[in-house]
Amino acid sequence: MLFTSGKLTGAGGPVQVDLDVRGVKLLHLVVEDANANTAFDHTSWALARVTVR
């Protein structure tokens, strides 16, 4: 695992993440249960991108 944000909420706004993924063959973006039930757990990847420099 390269990164975990912990629990996020809409009130916290967007979180910028900058990771070095050189050599990574498979990248998973995962949303997990945040409140012990399945109601309203979701995400918006909002312009998520992988860039090569």
Percent of the chain with pLDDT over 70: 98
Taking the C-alpha atoms of residue 42 and residue 12, their distance in angstroms, rounded to an integer, is 14
Range 19-28 average pLDDT: 89
Alpha-carbon distances, residue 36 vs 4, 7, 28, 39, 52 (angstroms): 18, 12, 22, 9, 38
**pLDDT value at position 43?**
83
Query: Domain-by-domain residue ranges, the chain?
Result: 15-53
On whether the CB atoms of residues 45 and 29 are closer than 8 A, the answer is yes
The model's confidence at residue 48, banded by pLDDT at 50, 70 and 90, is confident
Longest dimension (CA), the chain: 41
**pLDDT value at position 1?**
86
DSSP letter, residue 10: G
